[in-house]
Structure 1
Amino acid sequence: MQRLVEPAQYTSSTVAEHLDREGIAASIGSVGDALGNALMDSAIGLYKTELVKPQRPWKYLAEVELATAEWVDWYNHRRG
């Protein structure tokens, strides 16, 4: 089982390396551009408030992955 690690900054070298390995292009706004990531910051804030924080402590990455997939499905298709 893969152990869950503490969250890191979105700009960390670990995250950048993971994205690169998976062929994913990072989308990070320019320095001082407060509005560039406002929508994503809002969605991440909801995700943390509604899912991550109320259910912690998380023991395994698989738990977070499944809960995240379920939350994203709810957020995209059923929330009202």
Structure 2
Amino acid sequence: MLIAFMGGVYKEAVTKGRQALLRYRANQIADYEALCHFHLWPQEPDPKYIYYIGQSINFENWHKLEKTIKMPFTRI
């Protein structure tokens, strides 16, 4: 009889603990979602175009290297 009573108490404690944990997690998620839309400064819009200005010397070096690497594999 005592064992059956203790078993029921354990299951009840587990259930209450799980409910408390889920409630705590739900509150954390709600707080995060509430703060997600709060911005301290206005966000900059994404640019329409992305500009890249490369250095031509880097391209020239790469192009020369590419030619020397591909040269041995050309057909005779």
If the TM-score is normalised by the length of the shorter chain, which range does it land in? under 0.3
TM-score, normalised with respect to structure 2: 0.27
TM-score, normalised with respect to structure 1: 0.26
Higher RCO (Cα < 8 Å, 6 or more apart): 1
Task: Write 1 or 2 for the structure with the bigger share of helix.
Answer: 2
Q: Pick the structure with greater CA Rg.
A: 2
